[in-house]
Amino acid sequence: MLTTDKKRLQKRHRAETRFRAYGVLSLMAAAGILFTLIYSIVSSGYTAFYRTTLLLDIELNAERIDVTPPYSRNALMQGRYSSLVKSALYAQFPEVTDRRARRELSSLLSPGAELAVRDYLIDHPDSLGTTIALEVPMSSDFDQLYKEHLPRSGENIRFSGQQLQWFDRLLEEGRIAYRFNTQFLFGGDSRYPELAGIAGAVAGSFFALLVCFLLSFPLGIAAATYLEEFAPKTRLTRIIEANINNLAAVPSVIFGLLGLAIFLNVFGLPRSTPLVGGIVLSLMTLPTIIIATRASIRSVSPGIRQAGLAMGASPVQVVFHHVLPVAMPGTLTGTIIGLAQALGETAPLLMIGMVAFIANVPTTPMDPSAALPVQIFLWAESAERGFVEKTSAAIMVIMMFLIMMNLLAVIIRTRTQGKSKVE
């Protein structure tokens, strides 16, 4: 009897140990996958925050820029800077005189180089007529060469032997520098990877989320409060409740099609704008907010409602004075999580045309714009090697925003937990 007991006991212990091992294993697998994901994104993306520049001595000749006094901002904007930059580069290599060779040489420079000169001159109009030493961006290929993302030799080499010699000489002379890429953080999108920035997408996402919040937060709270506190429990309200829950499970691309059909085609709202993006995203966050708000309203102690009613407060006063303030942390948490989901949503934005190439940073929700996830999509599709690191860097940026939003939700939840638990 005792021995059989022992056997069974051992068997049970083994089963328990096994089960625990499975749990630890699956956790480790999940952590491993997450780590791999983050590692691959960060390792391929962090270089996008830096770019390679070339130090050139540029003679700011008014005649060659083709500007006449007064040197207004507008005039300077329309000046021609291309030849200035090129001659500054040619001056480094006086032995290169051949037209073809010079063209090869000038491909070391980014089209952004002349813009850098222009911007410098606009900021320092007094320097006109002098020679300045300015660090201008190098073209994406040489940027990638410096970052060792492109090979110096092999089958698909993108550089001629002479270009590599020039590059090495500039490197020896200390004219090539590796600088923090402010343009990536504060600039708009560009066809040239070395000039592409994420600010347009960040602003687009910000405006879309703002519109989404302004629409879905009040609507969601109103709907949840009505359903939870005032609506008669009839068949109709039950159907509505079930459908709100269903709405949360609808594929997002369908919301995009709805937005295309209704907001763009029927109401004629401007295409590609964060305004429409925000409206479409609010359709998606609404169910999330409603469900979270209803749950937190339901968890408010009935004693508080009774106390309010017994004090002669009207049902509306009870809701606004007592129930909603207590339910607010849960509502806010749900809202932030809903907005975080919306921030990562791509498909509905593709449908309403937020996938267009837009170089300007939007300043209002009515300006055409990209959004962060769409920007990632766009860059990931691009053929240039330089966009690979940009894609990863954009993913890092969106992940940072997501982590911040989720952290905020956690903070709100833990901060108010003590308060709302006491009845």
Partner 1 sequence: MMDYVMTADSTDTNDNIIRQTQDSLESEASASRTDIKMTAESVSVFYGAEQALDDINIDIHSKQITALIGPSGCGKSTFLRCLNRMNDVIDGCRVSGRITLDGEDIYAPSVDVVSLRSHIGMVFQKPNPFPKSIFENVAYGPRIHGLAQTQDEIEEIAIRSLKKAGLFEEVKDRLHAPATGLSGGQQQRLCIARAISINPGVLLMDEPCSALDPIATARIEDLMWELKESITIIIVTHSMQQASRVSQQTGFFHMGVMAEVGTTEQIFQNPVDPRTRDYITGRFG
The residue range among 43-51, 166-174, 314-322, 370-378 that interacts with partner 1, by the rule CB under 8 A, is 314-322
Cβ contact 359:190 at 8 Å:
yes
> Is residue 328 within the footprint of partner 1 (CB under 8 A)?
no
Closest CA to 374 of 359, 356, 386: 356
Taking the C-alpha atoms of residue 202 and residue 214, their distance in angstroms, rounded to an integer, is 18
The answer to whether the bond into 70 is cis (omega within 30° of 0) is: yes
The residue range among 160-168, 286-294, 311-319, 394-402 that interacts with partner 1, by the rule CB under 8 A, is 311-319
CA 140 to chain centre: 22
Nearest-approach distance from CB 229 to partner 1, in angstroms: 10
Cβ contact 393:184 at 8 Å:
yes
Q: Which of 115, 210, 262, 307 binds partner 1 (CB under 8 A)?
A: 307
The residue range among 106-114, 215-223, 322-330, 341-349 that interacts with partner 1, by the rule CB under 8 A, is 322-330
What is the Cα gyration radius of the chain? Answer: 30
> Is residue 82 within the footprint of partner 1 (CB under 8 A)?
no
Nearest-approach distance from CB 325 to partner 1, in angstroms: 8
Nearer to partner 1, 48 or 323 (CB): 323
Nearest-approach distance from CB 190 to partner 1, in angstroms: 53
The residue range among 99-107, 248-256, 299-307, 376-384 that interacts with partner 1, by the rule CB under 8 A, is 299-307
231 to 270: interface string for partner 1, x by CB under 8 A: --x-------------------------------------
How many Cβ atoms sit within 10 Å of the Cβ of residue 16?
Answer: 10
Q: Which of 311, 356, 407, 410 binds partner 1 (CB under 8 A)?
A: 311
Q: Which of 83, 127, 237, 301 binds partner 1 (CB under 8 A)?
A: 301
Q: Which of 314, 360, 363, 414 binds partner 1 (CB under 8 A)?
A: 314
> Is residue 376 within the footprint of partner 1 (CB under 8 A)?
no
Cβ contact 332:405 at 8 Å:
no
Burial of 421: CB neighbours in 10 Å, binned 0-12, 13-18, 19+? exposed
Structure-block tokens of residue 202: 């960040």
The residue range among 107-115, 297-305, 331-339, 340-348 that interacts with partner 1, by the rule CB under 8 A, is 297-305
Nearest-approach distance from CB 213 to partner 1, in angstroms: 26
SS3 198: coil
The residue range among 144-152, 279-287, 310-318, 381-389 that interacts with partner 1, by the rule CB under 8 A, is 310-318
Cβ contact 140:383 at 8 Å:
no
Nearest-approach distance from CB 242 to partner 1, in angstroms: 20
Q: Which of 321, 382, 401, 408 binds partner 1 (CB under 8 A)?
A: 321
Taking the C-alpha atoms of residue 191 and residue 31, their distance in angstroms, rounded to an integer, is 37
Backbone φ, ψ for residue 297 (5° rounding): -65, -40
Distances (CA, A) of 257 to 252, 286, 287, 352, 367: 9, 17, 18, 8, 21
Cβ contact 283:317 at 8 Å:
no
Quote the crossing angle between the two packed helices 324-343 and 199-225, to the nearest 10°. 140
Nearest-approach distance from CB 326 to partner 1, in angstroms: 6
Q: Which of 308, 329, 353, 386 binds partner 1 (CB under 8 A)?
A: 308
Please report, as ranges, the residues that interact with partner 1 according to CB under 8 A. Answer: 233, 301, 303-304, 306-314, 317, 321-322, 325-326, 419-420, 422-423
